[in-house]
Structures are given as structure tokens and as C-alpha cells.
Structure 1
């Protein structure tokens, strides 16, 4: 048991060490070149973030929810097909802060996207998206293959 505690302590010590160690990225090219710390921010800003989501259902709908606090609704793009939903957007920084003035920098700023393959077909034409208190909710009616629609035949 003591050995397990020591292993756990070692893991957390290694994580703390890794978190406090400056990151040096390598750019792949014909000539390997180390990226300098001041260039790291440019690379990080160009990266696209991935949105975290909850996907759930009730009897008639599939829902996708995501926290998008600080994102202008006009900067959100939701695309729905029968099989998938894609959410794209951009969270703009409110103000510019010098790198040396940060104590912690954990928030993601910039472009993000997420594509989710749905567990069941939905009707994209009847789907809706709403934003309330920083939470995006996409509501998609389930496509019911068992539902039969009668069509009247017209004589010409």
C-alpha cells in the first residue's frame, strides 16, 4: 500500500515538474529548428480549440450542449445534417495582456470547433439552436423511421 502512495506521489510530482518546465516546441521541416519561447504564443494562437460538449436525449429529441461563455452569438456557426452536428466559433480576448503579467493563463481564446456524429438520425430542418447564460443548446428532433405518412393519390 505504501508503494502505491509513493507511486501516486511520484506521478503528481512529475506532473507538477512538467507544468512548471518551459515548453520548447520543435517545428518539423527538413532542418529541425527549435521554436523560441516568444514564438510559442504565435503557434498556440493559431491552434484551434476543441469544444467540450454534453450529448443527451429525451423521447423525441437529441440535444448537444456546450459552455461558450464570452462568445458573441454572431460568432457561432452551427451546421446540422441527418447524421452529425458541427459547431464553430471564436472567443475573442477582451483585452491584451503582456505575457509577463499573467499569473495563470488557462482560458482558451481564439477559434474552436467540434463535430459530433449523432447516435441517431435527426431532422435538420426542424432543429434549433439557442444561447442562454453562456450555454449553447442545439435541439434536434429524432427522425422516426417507423413513422408512416399516408399520401393521397391525385388523378390527372
Structure 2
């Protein structure tokens, strides 16, 4: 007799989340005005801060390593979208600030991604989205314990 795992709702959800994650990563890798999706997402994240964040704060906000974020920022700096500077109060801290062209690109991206979000969520009631956010946050907490 062959083993057949149960096809529980939980397993279906994990498969769906995995599939969605893979497809979202594909979208992230697409080029946007000559930048990778990861670069543009990081730039948009940077522009969401009220004050220029430190490299550490930006890394934590994006759930990525300090080293990974710094490599992306160095590319953005060479392209003229961000400025990296040593914090005047702590020479060990690197501050990150978008340039004018960085802010403009982030705004353009925000408008474009707004259209995508509207399309993706057009048939999903707000209460379902809120429930999904709650569930995914609980799953993230569970993953933290596994890792």
C-alpha cells in the first residue's frame, strides 16, 4: 500500500503560499527602469522612512542581512539613487538617504505597484485580507521558532 499524505487545508495553504512566493520572486526579478525588482523594492522601502535610516534599520525593516542590503545600496549609490554617509554621532553607523532621482523613481514605482495591488486584490474583501495578514504573521512567528 502506498503512503498518501492527507490533503489538509493547512497543507493546501502552505502550498499556495509557496507557489505565490515563487511567482512574486519572479516579478521582483523583472527590471524596472534598469533596476532589479530587489533594488526598486529597497529604494521604495528607504523612501518610506520619515528620517534617513541607518543601514541596520533598513536591513531589519526589509528582513535581509546587513551585507545583502549594503551590496544593493552600493549599486543604487553608483546609479545615483541613494547617498551613503557615516553618521556624525556614531562613526560605526552608516546612514542611507535617497537622492531626488531616487525619490522620484520610488514614487513612480509606488504608482505602478499600486495598480498591480489593485488588480490582485480587486475581488478580495478587506476583512479577508486582514484575516490573511493575521494568519501569515502567526506563520512567520512559528517559522522563527523553527529557525
Q: Under a length normalisation based on structure 1, what TM-score does the superposition of the two structures give?
A: 0.25
Q: Which has the higher contact order (CA 8 A, sep 6+)?
A: 1
Larger radius of gyration: 1
Higher share in helix: 2
Q: Under a length normalisation based on structure 2, what TM-score does the superposition of the two structures give?
A: 0.26
